[in-house]
Amino acid sequence: MPLDSKVPGGPLAEKWDRHRFELKLVNPANKRKYTIIVVGTGLAGSSASATLAELGYNTKTFCIQDSPRRAHSIAAQGGINAAKNYPNDGDSIWRLFYDTIKGGDFRSREANTYRLAQVSDNIIDQCVAQGVPFARDYGGLLANRSFGGAQVSRTFYCRGQTGQQLLLGAYSSLSRQIAAGKVKMFPRREMLELVLINGKAKGIVVRNLITGEFESHEADAVVLATGGYGNVYYLSTNATSCNVGAAFRAYKKGAYFANPCYTQIHPTCIPHSGEYQSKLTLMSESLRNDGRVWVPKNAGDKRRPNDIPESERDYYLERKYPSFGNLAPRDISSRSAKEVCDEGRGVGPTGYAVYLDFIEAIERDGIEAVRKKYGNLFDMYENIIDDNPYETPMMIYPASHYTMGGLWVDYNLMSNIEGLFVLGEANFSDHGANRLGASALMQGLADGYFIIPYTIGGYLAGKEPSELKADHPAFQEATREADERVKKLFSIKGKRTVDSIHRDSGRIMWEYCGMSRNEEGLKKALKLMQDLREEFWQNVLVPGSDSDYNLSLQKAGRVADYLEFSELMIIDALERRESCGGHFREEYQTEEGEAERDDENFCHVAAWEYDGYGRPPLFHKETLTFENVELSKRSYK
Amino acid sequence: MTKDTKTINITLKVWRQKGPRDKGRFENIPVKNVETHMSFLEMLDVVNERLTLEGKEPIEFDNDCREGICGMCGAVINGIAHGPERAMTLCQLHMRKFSDGDTIAVEPFRARAFKVVKDLIVDRSPLDKIIQAGGFVSTIVGGAPDGNALPISQEIAEKAMDAAACIGCGACVAACPNASAMLFVGAKISQLALLPQGKPEAARRALSMLQKMEELGFGNCSNETECEAVCPKEISIANIARFNREFLKAGFGSSEG
């Protein structure tokens, strides 16, 4: 079945305006008769909840943490893009759109990406109105900085804590609506089932993480804003609770999962050090504005970095990509780091690190200027690594950071299941095969503040408000399924901890489905993953009980999902016989080792449908058509 | 990882409590061969894996981002909220700050307003309720003017950012002898009172947030400054002074009083 993206007709720049006009409206007095469930309180979920409530809808909002202020959007450091063109350096909606679509290696949906650029300016205005303390210049106007993949300065920021400030802005609007009684907030809940009635999304079953009880919640529409699946690699920059659970539950109920193999490996993270390691810490990409990336020219050079003379250093990004240099996009920078390390030129105790050197910036601008820009990041590095980056270059290595793949959605951000909407990182639509820096915050807030409030109205208009009760048999059935799964996890009583199995599965994915992939490795990974999944269900050990707070139990459920989901990722990576963005298939590269796209055969979205446990998923295709940009070879040389 | 890997042996004296109604007690857990490059939470992870394999219940503790920004983690380490290092959350504390043979006491954040959920986990939802009482600008999506329509001096923007950096972890409450949330409230009041966007509601906000704080069982401020000392984001008590000024202004200078 071909997928209908429901992209409106007409010229690109007029599509959204026209669509907003054509969407049906819900009468203000009727909005209060509808209930909307929002799962997740990151940028997308908080902004959606607040805005839907402002419009008058009854909103029920769920999050896994103890408070809606904690979701992992909060950790985004660098900034948020917008096409304001305040620095007068040639930016425009069109340029932001083009950079984003090119950055995504022409694998995103043109109309969605254009709309994202279009509403980017409104996001900044909205956040300023909320009291988000953006950085300002001496005249009191908003300041900008540069980010990877762009040659204009369009990134707005709050020191190194932009995500935090934007999230707290959305959280403040959400808090206001909670106080007004329009949002009912349910923290420490984990969504375990999506409930469909007559094929439409009508509610969810959640587990109360404090009491262990299952709760049923009914609604007229369900909005998932549950983030990405970067923790599929075990080690990632994601928070420990980030998981694919909610999206995967929806997939198992029939929602299509699009492009799961598109994952972003971020080039500037603190390298791995030991077996006990629980996460990898990101160092903001903004560091690449002033830091120069290098490795020794000769393999096996073990001298201290400051003892290696200029002539024996290889500033490989500047050498290979002279026009973008150290600001080459993330996928390219990451892959280049892997290449030089695989050549034996990596540094640090493991040989899997490269230098990020600030000496030139310190000499040019003075140590104080560098401290002012990056002080908190340098402190963080020193605390973790126990080394002073003002004196010795930082060591960095790529780590799993973001996932471009996600549940398939149409132009209205509705999945193929009616009434199920998916926002932010959890959907697939705007970033193609690679996301540019400072675009995740933009997309999360665009979806929540400016898109879903219109499109959900178009869905609800003309539909009778639901009179469902949560005792409908569909809820009982979903609760039974969730309960059975929990009981099964406890009953195994094996010999391996949840974390130890997750570490193994993460290693398999990193090795064979990480920064570069090939058919042989992927096929091997598929087998390894199936074996590991079997081992999990026979040998996992979940301690404690199911009637109080039990993190091991929560994690066991999430790892079970990851084990199954990994297989989907591998299948997608196998089927995509081309290289594009973050998906680098070794068989498909140019003589210079750059990614080689195959537009003739793979200019499409791969959307996968669940077909039962242990059976291969069914493939659906949305062909991507580009009416306004020419598919060019993505070059940053 | 740049310096040599070292291991130490320690004894954890950790608070175990089944739930809010359980009395709770300390449990001594010897931990051998702790790599000093581990973070404190990674050390707890290793202990928990061991407890699990021994058929015991792991130590429950809140954590999420593990990079010091989400505000989810926190415990009192040897009597100090978030541990001995300044300007640091518990997740950023590393074992290299401890010595071989140390006994390390680990307790939950204690305050009248924070109930213990289990072991080291406490319920900090009262902090959310304080924000709901007025920690926002009453603006809605749709009508915001251009971001540059309202110039804000760099100095004011920076001061507002200093206050806005609060991560809502609750360490200030745990450290205060009165279990007051004045630093938390003062930071939010300051951020919004400094900025022109927040001024129209400044008086109402100061009054209602303070009232809510008292209602929820937090104590008052008696200038102990313990809050500032443990704050992982180094929020200054100048914010409490600013809050007091806002409160006085609200009381005497406006119709809100």
CB contact under 8 A, B135 and A277: no
Q: Which residue of B has its CA nearest to A82?
A: B147
Beta strands in A456-585 (DSSP E): none
d(CA A275, CA A147): 33
Instruction: State mean pLDDT over A385-393.
Output: 94
In the predicted structure, residue A143 carries a pLDDT above the cut 60 = yes
Partner-chain residue, chosen from B5, B121, B165, that has the shortest CB–CB distance to A161 = B165
CB contact under 8 A, B94 and A129: no
Residues 483-512 in A contacting B (C-alpha not used; CB under 8 Å): 495, 497, 499-500
Contact B84, B94 (CB under 8 A): no
In the predicted structure, residue A262 carries a pLDDT above the cut 70 = yes
CB contact under 8 A, A544 and B58: yes
- CATH number corresponding to A12-262+404-460: 3.50.50.60
Residues 58-87 in B contacting A (C-alpha not used; CB under 8 Å): 58, 60, 62-72
> Residue B2: its pLDDT value, please?
44
Alpha-carbon distances of A435 from A49, A83, A330, B230, rounded to whole Å:
25, 17, 8, 38
Contact B183, B194 (CB under 8 A): no
Measured in whole angstroms, the distance separating CA A78 from the mean position of its chain's CA atoms is 15
Q: By the CB < 8 Å criterion, does B220 face chain A?
A: no
The residue among B86, B141, B191 with the most chain A CBs within 10 A of its CB, best to mutate, is: B141
Alpha-carbon distances of A636 from A1, A324, A334, A395, B227, rounded to whole Å:
37, 6, 14, 24, 50
Give the number of beta-carbon pairs within 8 Å between A and B.
231
In the predicted structure, residue A414 carries a pLDDT above the cut 80 = yes
Q: Which residue ranges of chain B lie beneath pLDDT 50?
A: 1-2, 256-257
Residue among A623, A505, A498 at smallest CA distance from A565: A505
CB contact under 8 A, B136 and A499: no
Summarised one tens digit per residue, pLDDT across range A9-28 is: 999 999 999 999 999 999 99
CB contact under 8 A, A179 and B133: yes
* Residues on chain B touching A171 (C-beta within 8 angstroms): 131
d(CA B181, CA B178): 9
pLDDT band at A232 (very low <50, low <70, confident <90, very high): very high
Summarised one tens digit per residue, pLDDT across range A523-533 is: 999 999 999 99
Residue A616 Cα, gap to closest chain B Cα (Å): 34
> Residue B257: its pLDDT value, please?
43
Q: Are strands B121-123 and A214-218 parallel, antiparallel or unpaired?
A: unpaired
Instruction: State mean pLDDT over A586-590.
Output: 95
Residues 570-629 in A contacting B (C-alpha not used; CB under 8 Å): none
String of DSSP letters for A381-444: HHHHH-S-TTTS-EEEEEEEEEE--EE---TTSB-SSBTEEE-GGGB-SSSTTSPPTT-HHHHH
Summarised one tens digit per residue, pLDDT across range A481-504 is: 999 999 999 999 999 999 999 999
Q: By the CB < 8 Å criterion, does A257 face chain B?
A: no
Q: By the CB < 8 Å criterion, does B123 face chain A?
A: yes
Summarised one tens digit per residue, pLDDT across range A115-124 is: 999 999 999 9
Residues 148-167 in B contacting A (C-alpha not used; CB under 8 Å): 148, 150-154, 157-158, 160-161, 164-165, 167
Alpha-carbon distances of A189 from A121, A276, B248, rounded to whole Å:
34, 28, 40
Contacts of A238 (CB under 8 A, 6+ apart): A72, A227, A228, A230, A231, A279, A400, A401
CB contact under 8 A, A165 and B1: no
Fold of domain A265-400: Flavocytochrome C3; Chain A, domain 1 (3.90.700)
The residue among B49, B69, B195 with the most chain A CBs within 10 A of its CB, best to mutate, is: B69
For the beta sheet containing A183-186, the strands, ordered from the edge strand earlier in sequence to the opposite edge, are A183-186, A58-62, A35-39, A221-224, A420-422
- Domain A265-400 matches domain A493-597 at the CATH topology level: no
Q: By the CB < 8 Å criterion, does A362 face chain B?
A: no
Where do the domains of chain A lie? Answer: 12-262+404-460, 265-400, 493-597
Alpha-carbon distances of A163 from A70, A106, A199, A360, A377, rounded to whole Å:
11, 27, 36, 29, 15
CB contact under 8 A, B37 and A139: no
Residues 50-69 in A contacting B (C-alpha not used; CB under 8 Å): 50-51, 54, 65-69
CB contact under 8 A, B49 and A281: no
**pTM to 2 decimals?**
0.97
* Mean residue pLDDT across chain A: 95
Partner-chain residue, chosen from B1, B38, B52, that has the shortest CB–CB distance to A552 = B52
How many Cβ atoms from other residues are within 10 Å of residue B12's Cβ?
A: 20
Q: By the CB < 8 Å criterion, does A225 face chain B?
A: no
Q: Give the 3-state secondary structure of B222-247.
A: CCCCHHHHHCCCCCCCHHHHHHHHHH
> Residue B254: its pLDDT value, please?
58
Partner-chain residue, chosen from B35, B56, B69, that has the shortest CB–CB distance to A161 = B69
Q: Which residue of B has its CA nearest to A392?
A: B2
Six-digit token pair at A179? 């106080």
In the predicted structure, residue A286 carries a pLDDT above the cut 90 = no
Residues 170-189 in B contacting A (C-alpha not used; CB under 8 Å): none
pLDDT band at A1 (very low <50, low <70, confident <90, very high): low
Ordered domains of chain B (ranges, CATH): 7-118 (3.10.20.30), 125-253 (1.10.1060.10)
Question: Residue B68, by phi and psi: left (phi above 0), alpha (psi -120 to 50) or beta?
Answer: left
* Residues on chain A touching B195 (C-beta within 8 angstroms): 131, 133
Measured in whole angstroms, the distance separating CA A503 from the mean position of its chain's CA atoms is 21
Fold of domain A493-597: Methane Monooxygenase Hydroxylase; Chain G, domain 1 (1.20.58)
CB contact under 8 A, A86 and B148: yes
Q: By the CB < 8 Å criterion, does A41 face chain B?
A: no
